[in-house]
């Protein structure tokens, strides 16, 4: 698969209920909700802000996986 953020080759490291876990060597590991995946069909991420936010989430809580859901998604 390709990373939803940078479009580079990434690993899908699991699928949970209503979400996908993506492991990108560039963007790191993040969870993306199926609702956001659906919105991605018609919208695009504000890539750099989204990456900053994932970074911020990791700093805020190092034990949990950074999350892209309808609340954290930043659209361009």
Binding flag, residue 65, Zn ion (CB under 5 A): no
Per CB under 5 A, contacts with Zn ion among 5-44 are 5-6, 24, 26-27
**Total residues interacting with Zn ion, rule: CB under 5 A:** 6
The sheet carrying 19-24 orders its strands as: 11-16, 19-24, 28-33, 66-68
For Cα atoms 35, 40, 45, give the angle at the middle one, nearest 5 degrees. Answer: 115
Binding flag, residue 3, Zn ion (CB under 5 A): yes
- The residue among 38, 31, 26, 39 whose CA lies nearest residue 61 is 31
- CB closer to Zn ion, 15 vs 26: 26
Query: Which residues of the shown chain bind Zn ion in the complex (CB under 5 A)?
Result: 3, 5-6, 24, 26-27
């Amino acid at each position: 698969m390709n990373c939803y953020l940078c479009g580079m080759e990434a690993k899908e490291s699991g699928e949970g209920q209503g979400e996908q876990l993506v492991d990108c060597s560039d963007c790191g590991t993040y969870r993306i909700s199926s609702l956001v995946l659906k919105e991605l069909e018609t919208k695009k991420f504000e890539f750099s802000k989204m990456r900053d936010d994932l970074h911020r989430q990791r700093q805020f809580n190092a034990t949990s996986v950074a999350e892209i859901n309808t609340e954290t998604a930043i659209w361009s």
